[in-house]
Chains A and B, each alone.
Chain A
Amino acid sequence: MPPFLLSAALDRRFEAAVFDWDGTAVPDRRADAGRVRTLVEALCAWGFDVAIVSGTHLGNVDAQLGARPAGPGHLYLCLNRGSEVFAVGPTGPQLIERRTATDAEEAALTAAAALVVGRLRARGLDVALVAERLNRRKIDLIPAQVWADPPKARIAELLAAVEERLSASGFSGLAEVAEVVRVAALEAGVPDPRVTSDVKHIELGLTDKSDSARWLFAELRRRGLAASAVLLGGDEFGAIGGVPGSDSLLLVPEGAAATALSVGVEPNGTPKGVVALGGGPDAFAGILEDQVRRRETGELPSFDPDSEWTLAVHGLDHHLERVHETLLTLADGRIGTSGAPLLAHRASNPRVLAGGIYEDEGAESHLLEAPAWAQVAGSLEHPGGLRRVLDLRSGLLFEELNGPDGRELQSVRFSSVARPGSVALRVEGAEAGLVDSRSLLPPSRHRRWRRGRVDGCDWLQVRAAHGGVTAATANTSHGDAERRRLDRLGVYLLDADSVPRPAEAVAQLHVVQEAGFERLLTEQRTTWGERWEHADVQIDGAAELQRAIRFALFQLMASVADSGETALGARGLTGPGYRGHVFWDTDVFVLPFLAATRPEAARSLLEYRIRRLPAARTEARALGRAGARFPWESARTGRDATPAHATTRSGELIPIRTGDQEEHIVADVAWAAACYLDWTGDEAFRRGPALALFVETARYWASRIRLDRNGRGHIDGVIGPDEYHEQIDDNAFTNVMARWNLRHAAEAVAVEGSGSVSAAEGERWLELADALVDGYDPTSGIYEQFSGFFELEPLVIEELAPRPVAAELLLGGERLQAAQVVKQADVLMLHHLAPGEVAPDSLRPNLLYYEPRTAHASSLSSGIHASLFARAGMLEKALAALELTSRIDLDDLTQTTAAGLHLATMGSLWQALAFGFAGLRPEGSCLRVDPQLPDRWHALELDVCFRGAHVTVRADGRNLTLTADSPVSFLVGDRKRPLTATPSGLRLKRRGHSWIEVKTP
């Protein structure tokens, strides 16, 4: 066993290495670095990231290393003591980051160096200013020929010689000299002087290795790697001569979870937590060789134990297993795979769903179940030792089985978000099933399938009435009876029109095989890293809530593809619930998150509606209306797929009227398009498909509105978001959304022009919009939810039962229809979706009136109320509603999570954080921000994309920092004039109710 494996911390697979050059990777700058070069290139070829950190410049390191890795792993050179970063590819190094000193900083450095030299010489110490390096000055403390270029191995002798010289001049040691430098730097105007020493030199700079380390950990995070996956190597972690070792600067807080290792002599020991291995560059090369070997033998990656980034399920609970499998779903926007264990168990339900492929038509249509790919032969007899961990950072599902019967199995699997439709599984253990494993299981409830084997690949084809799914997988197994390893790669081809041919799937599988498991893994991490970079929400001071938020965002991001169309049902790809039908959940609850974080995914949701515009026109025509009427439930064709009847929990067969009456969906679709435009400013979409959507939906409303004798507009016979009341007239939500729709379309036509819309038609839309009644009473400030609502039985559900509560079961449907009990936000949904369309200052009175009358029996309710409570400054209520929202699936509060996750609830969770607590909303070409944080939170940080810029909003109790990678205009709080955020950040402080800009030098 190599000596380093005696340290348990090193006996594992890492995914990246960050290490010092001189003394760690090579003994000195003249040494042959061929061995390191070979290792670096090999590791990069396996997808491993390498970063070399050095005080010297590119010429020195690159000339000595000479590595030209082809990837997929990256090689970074972080040089000039934290001032430069180069990425090295096949063609050589490319500068990607450089800290450029201002003239004032340069002058300050020069002045400081002169001061230091003067002060040292004044005390009799003969020193020399040897170089003016990038952003630093270097002073030789022992300019004797014999110590011209001392190797690291002679560090102890060098230290003795330098200390002897310093002592002769009355200095107590290196630390005192360093203090002289620091003081001089401050006097000369260097605000944050970085003083370092390699014993021979003392250096003053604007940057040091800690800058390199911080940049690297941020970069690795962008590539989907947690700090725990990083090996940090150096040879000078311990203090030398009273000065902290140069490599100790790599120990930054962002990398606290990394494994730090010293191969140096370390005469004064190493800081706590650093593995002191010794052995110099030879030992370090051995460690890199070990990492290569672990990949050659197919070792499984380790998972990040950070609880804020993982969801772990221990054991197998018979009752909750399907819930857990749903929570552990891996989706890639095309297929969704449940987190069923590798081995069969009667409580388990391995399931793969194919997005957008429906079996049957109309109300009976449902998502097609595809073959399952993530199981191996054998059954799970003793699930007590089972543990599954979903890594939210990179979309990997780890599974371990340490059974009491001695069975051991470890695995990792993922559904590739970089190559949607591609899957990968690696399993290690002694199971016989790892060799004799049929890799595709037919769907449990679908009979029309066939399978075959071609070219060493299994394929299985599932046929729907229109189109179908064909999957192909290939197994590679290694090892002996004691330890086997199975790699399984697979592809799924989906087609809504014709079932893909097996040969196509096998050909696609060969492409994936060519890439191999490790490359797919690297791509997976990188893609997830990029997604999180633009979508993360961080709350300091609420760890469990943080994990729940990440879980929700993870599943939202996983459910939607980046191209084509996404038919996102209410449960996405996580379960068969709601038959995969598409509701307003997608347009109003899910889409805003994606519009603000991954516009291409939001666009694919809109594409689903755009392609069904002809069907919506047909629906409208069939009802004698103009324009387009989108259906309440939609599947393959875009025709209404709402069932006509249902049996309730009371055992009654009741008619389902949402398909006929819940028409606000028409305006909701248009609203979604506008929301996407607000965040993205996508001009091509604005002029093309969006315009068509606005026009056709406005035409529908224009033909739907009834004008009375007084010229007032009405919409009769509808159901609002509160579905307890049917066949109602003038539902405030429907009317105001229709009004918004008409006005928005008229404005869009006026701006963009539309040949099909005459000026008279546009005028007519505006007249109708103005004529529509909305139930607002200016005296009370309250909107009447629908005509006659205030005359209903005045029940306050808050006083009748703990909420949320299914009030229809408590009171019965008939009584509810006649009572002032609301299922979910209805009037208040207007204040959430269209605050510009409701009366100013009407939020609070309506919130105080309607919320106590709301049962919150829909999982869509609490998130919206959390947002509105936050906007109204009722932060404790907001927090309670937010926490409930965050637990709906994690705690299976609906007892239906086994049938799929409530994606709309998850979308509302993000909206509550962004729109509610952060007060973040597009307003024209600006972003409005007005954070309101509960006392229990230390800070809230959101990443979003606005008009192509990556924006970070960070707020704590009194401070607000807005950062954008390209200039973005912000309207902050109640300020009327915009402020511009840039990469260097815009800082504001709260003074009373206002935000004051903090100017930094």
Chain B
Amino acid sequence: MNKVLAALDNSAAARPVLVSAAALARLLGAEVEAVHIREDGHQTAEAAARAAGLPLRLTAGPVVQTLQAAGQNPDVIALALGVRALSAGRRPAGHVALQLAVTLPKPLLVVPPQATPTTTLKRVLVPLDAEPATAAALAETLELAGRHQLEVVVLHVHNHASIPPFTEQPQHELAAWGEEFLRRHCPNPDLVRLEVRVGIPGQHVLGVAEEMRADMIALGWAQELDEGHAAVIREALEHSSIPLLLIPVPR
């Protein structure tokens, strides 16, 4: 059976990671497997797994490599882990999360420690640029719309470099444009809702997620965190208080 692998560290993030992983697994029709790599104790992780009614697989080894290897298992369809140990941390994410994010060829659910995830995902925000590859990577997520009463909201942000040449009668043109945008980029356009904004995408992603009280943000990305890349991902990793599902876009 497909699994969402929940990687628990021995921190406050362990519980939110488990809850988020379980919510995602339920949506995907998968089961959750909790895993902990021994470093400096395992009581917090163990307690979190016990509270969730899941056995905890304890293993040893270099954390990143061990999780990468576990993630390669064909049964594993996503890996969940805490984004950083403390909410006050200055870096956008811990080194484990960052290294896995740029290397793991599977969806990575990163859960901020301050998250209060729900056991059932009700609203997911899916930001889409107009790139077909992004849309293709997010297609499976978009197809979840309607399942288990999940509401999927697609967000497109016109930034200053992509201001469209034409906007006509506002009472009509957005409907026409929006319908076609969804037809182009969503496998189930009738089941999702579109929000459009103008400005800096990273800021709007978090703003709209808050407005709609999203339980999760699904983001497609090319797994490049170098300067000049992934501004939205960086912004979200740094400031999001809800889980992020990072889905690799094939390069």
The residues of A with any CB-CB pair to B shorter than 8 Å are 318-319, 322-323, 347, 349, 363, 570, 575, 577-579, 581, 583, 642-643, 645-651, 654, 656, 658, 723, 801, 803-806, 808-810, 856-859, 888, 893-896, 898-900
The residues of B with any CB-CB pair to A shorter than 8 Å are 132, 158, 160, 163-177, 179-181, 183-184, 195-199, 208
Q: Give bound CA distance, A898 to B195, whole Å.
A: 19
Inside 8 A of A579's CB, which chain B residues have their CB? Answer: 172
Do A806 and B180 touch across chains, with their CB atoms under 8 A apart? Answer: no
Inside 8 A of A319's CB, which chain B residues have their CB? Answer: 132, 184
Q: Give bound CA distance, A583 to B173, whole Å.
A: 14
Given A651-B208, A805-B165, 11 additional A-B pairs, CB 8 A: A578-B169, A646-B172, A649-B174, A649-B197, A650-B199, A656-B170, A656-B171, A804-B165, A806-B167, A809-B158, A894-B168
Do B170 and A646 touch across chains, with their CB atoms under 8 A apart? Answer: yes
Inside 8 A of A656's CB, which chain B residues have their CB? Answer: 170-171
Measured CB to CB, the nearest residue on chain A to B155 is A651
Measured CB to CB, the nearest residue on chain A to B132 is A319
Binding site secondary structure of chain A: loop
Inside 8 A of B158's CB, which chain A residues have their CB? Answer: 649, 809
Do B197 and A859 touch across chains, with their CB atoms under 8 A apart? Answer: no
Do A651 and B171 touch across chains, with their CB atoms under 8 A apart? Answer: no
Do B172 and A651 touch across chains, with their CB atoms under 8 A apart? Answer: no
Inside 8 A of B170's CB, which chain A residues have their CB? Answer: 646, 648, 654, 656
Inside 8 A of B166's CB, which chain A residues have their CB? Answer: 804, 806, 857-859, 888, 893-894, 896
Do A651 and B167 touch across chains, with their CB atoms under 8 A apart? Answer: no
Inside 8 A of B169's CB, which chain A residues have their CB? Answer: 578, 583, 658, 723
Do B180 and A578 touch across chains, with their CB atoms under 8 A apart? Answer: no
Do B165 and A650 touch across chains, with their CB atoms under 8 A apart? Answer: no
Most chain A CB inside 10 Å of its own CB: which residue of B158, B172, B174, B181: B172
Q: Give bound CA distance, A594 to B44, whole Å.
A: 79
Q: Give bound CA distance, A924 to B51, whole Å.
A: 91
Inside 8 A of B208's CB, which chain A residues have their CB? Answer: 651
Most chain B CB inside 10 Å of its own CB: which residue of A577, A649, A654, A856: A649
Partner of A643, one of B165, B167, B171: B171
Do B172 and A577 touch across chains, with their CB atoms under 8 A apart? Answer: yes
Q: Kindly provide the distance from the CB of B127 to the nearest chain A CB, expressed in whole angstroms.
A: 14
Do B176 and A578 touch across chains, with their CB atoms under 8 A apart? Answer: yes
Do B174 and A648 touch across chains, with their CB atoms under 8 A apart? Answer: yes
Inside 8 A of B179's CB, which chain A residues have their CB? Answer: 898-899
Q: Kindly provide the distance from the CB of A21 to the nearest chain B CB, expressed in whole angstroms.
A: 58
Q: Give bound CA distance, A886 to B208, whole Å.
A: 38
The 7 A-B residue pairs with the shortest CB-CB distance in the complex, in nearest-first order: A899-B176, A806-B167, A646-B171, A804-B165, A898-B180, A896-B176, A577-B176
- 14 example contacts (A-B, Cβ-Cβ < 8 A) are as follows A347-B183, A575-B176, A579-B172, A581-B172, A646-B172, A651-B196, A723-B169, A856-B165, A857-B166, A858-B166, A894-B168, A894-B177, A898-B176, A900-B176
Do B183 and A322 touch across chains, with their CB atoms under 8 A apart? Answer: yes
Q: Give bound CA distance, A648 to B173, whole Å.
A: 9
Q: Give bound CA distance, A225 to B109, whole Å.
A: 63
Measured CB to CB, the nearest residue on chain B to A897 is B180
Partner of B177, one of A654, A723, A808, A896: A896
Partner of B196, one of A347, A642, A649, A858: A649
Do B177 and A578 touch across chains, with their CB atoms under 8 A apart? Answer: no
Do A642 and B171 touch across chains, with their CB atoms under 8 A apart? Answer: yes
Inside 8 A of B174's CB, which chain A residues have their CB? Answer: 646-649
Inside 8 A of A805's CB, which chain B residues have their CB? Answer: 163, 165
Do A809 and B163 touch across chains, with their CB atoms under 8 A apart? Answer: yes
Q: Give bound CA distance, A583 to B169, whole Å.
A: 11
Inside 8 A of A570's CB, which chain B residues have their CB? Answer: 172
Do A808 and B167 touch across chains, with their CB atoms under 8 A apart? Answer: yes
Do B180 and A899 touch across chains, with their CB atoms under 8 A apart? Answer: yes
Q: Give bound CA distance, A347 to B179, whole Å.
A: 13
Q: Give bound CA distance, A279 to B197, whole Å.
A: 74
Do A898 and B165 touch across chains, with their CB atoms under 8 A apart? Answer: no
Do B180 and A322 touch across chains, with their CB atoms under 8 A apart? Answer: yes
Inside 8 A of B183's CB, which chain A residues have their CB? Answer: 322, 347, 349, 898
Measured CB to CB, the nearest residue on chain B to A571 is B176
Do B197 and A894 touch across chains, with their CB atoms under 8 A apart? Answer: no
Q: Give bound CA distance, A856 to B164, whole Å.
A: 12
Do A809 and B184 touch across chains, with their CB atoms under 8 A apart? Answer: no
Q: Give bound CA distance, A651 to B194, whole Å.
A: 10
Inside 8 A of B177's CB, which chain A residues have their CB? Answer: 894-896, 899
Measured CB to CB, the nearest residue on chain A to B196 is A649
Q: Kindly provide the distance from the CB of B152 to the nearest chain A CB, expressed in whole angstroms.
A: 17
Inside 8 A of B175's CB, which chain A residues have their CB? Answer: 577, 899
Known contacts: A650-B198, A895-B177, A898-B180. The answer to whether A857 contacts B172 by CB under 8 A is no
Q: Give bound CA distance, A723 to B163, whole Å.
A: 18
Do B171 and A857 touch across chains, with their CB atoms under 8 A apart? Answer: no
Measured CB to CB, the nearest residue on chain B to A577 is B176
Q: Kindly provide the distance from the CB of A32 to the nearest chain B CB, expressed in whole angstroms.
A: 65
Inside 8 A of B176's CB, which chain A residues have their CB? Answer: 575, 577-578, 896, 898-900
Inside 8 A of A322's CB, which chain B residues have their CB? Answer: 180, 183
Q: Give bound CA distance, A731 to B173, whole Å.
A: 25
Most chain A CB inside 10 Å of its own CB: which residue of B166, B196, B198: B166
Measured CB to CB, the nearest residue on chain A to B136 is A318
Partner of B198, one of A649, A804, A888, A896: A649
Q: Kindly provide the distance from the CB of B221 to the nearest chain A CB, expressed in whole angstroms.
A: 21
Inside 8 A of A859's CB, which chain B residues have their CB? Answer: 166, 168
Inside 8 A of B168's CB, which chain A residues have their CB? Answer: 857-859, 894, 896
Q: Kindly provide the distance from the CB of A893 to the nearest chain B CB, expressed in whole angstroms.
A: 6
Q: Give bound CA distance, A804 to B175, whole Å.
A: 21
Q: Give bound CA distance, A453 to B213, whole Å.
A: 51
Inside 8 A of B164's CB, which chain A residues have their CB? Answer: 806, 809, 894-895
Q: Give bound CA distance, A578 to B183, whole Å.
A: 18
Measured CB to CB, the nearest residue on chain B to A583 is B169
Q: Give bound CA distance, A803 to B158, whole Å.
A: 16
Q: Kindly provide the distance from the CB of B165 to the nearest chain A CB, expressed in whole angstroms.
A: 4
Inside 8 A of A649's CB, which chain B residues have their CB? Answer: 158, 167, 174, 196-198
Measured CB to CB, the nearest residue on chain A to B176 is A899
Q: Kindly provide the distance from the CB of A899 to the nearest chain B CB, expressed in whole angstroms.
A: 4
Do A810 and B160 touch across chains, with their CB atoms under 8 A apart? Answer: yes
Known contacts: A649-B198, A801-B163. The answer to whether A896 contacts B171 by CB under 8 A is no
Measured CB to CB, the nearest residue on chain B to A860 is B168
Q: Kindly provide the distance from the CB of A160 to the nearest chain B CB, expressed in whole angstroms.
A: 74
Q: Give bound CA distance, A643 to B165, whole Å.
A: 24
Partner of B167, one of A347, A583, A809: A809
Inside 8 A of A650's CB, which chain B residues have their CB? Answer: 196-199
Inside 8 A of A810's CB, which chain B residues have their CB? Answer: 160, 163
Inside 8 A of A896's CB, which chain B residues have their CB? Answer: 166, 168, 173, 176-177, 180
Q: Kindly provide the distance from the CB of A323 to the nearest chain B CB, expressed in whole angstroms.
A: 8
Inside 8 A of A801's CB, which chain B residues have their CB? Answer: 163
Inside 8 A of B171's CB, which chain A residues have their CB? Answer: 363, 642-643, 645-646, 656, 658
Inside 8 A of B165's CB, which chain A residues have their CB? Answer: 803-806, 856-857, 893-894
Measured CB to CB, the nearest residue on chain A to B180 is A898
Inside 8 A of A723's CB, which chain B residues have their CB? Answer: 169
Q: Give bound CA distance, A645 to B175, whole Å.
A: 13
Q: Kindly provide the distance from the CB of A586 to the nearest chain B CB, expressed in whole angstroms.
A: 14
Q: Give bound CA distance, A573 to B183, whole Å.
A: 21
Measured CB to CB, the nearest residue on chain B to A575 is B176
Q: Give bound CA distance, A810 to B160, whole Å.
A: 7
Do A809 and B198 touch across chains, with their CB atoms under 8 A apart? Answer: yes
Inside 8 A of A318's CB, which chain B residues have their CB? Answer: 184
Measured CB to CB, the nearest residue on chain A to B184 is A319
Q: Give bound CA distance, A651 to B181, whole Å.
A: 16
Do B160 and A651 touch across chains, with their CB atoms under 8 A apart? Answer: no
Do B163 and A651 touch across chains, with their CB atoms under 8 A apart? Answer: no
Do B197 and A578 touch across chains, with their CB atoms under 8 A apart? Answer: no
Inside 8 A of A658's CB, which chain B residues have their CB? Answer: 169, 171
Measured CB to CB, the nearest residue on chain A to B197 is A651
Measured CB to CB, the nearest residue on chain B to A896 is B176
Q: Kindly provide the distance from the CB of B211 to the nearest chain A CB, expressed in whole angstroms.
A: 9
Inside 8 A of B180's CB, which chain A residues have their CB? Answer: 322-323, 895-896, 898-899
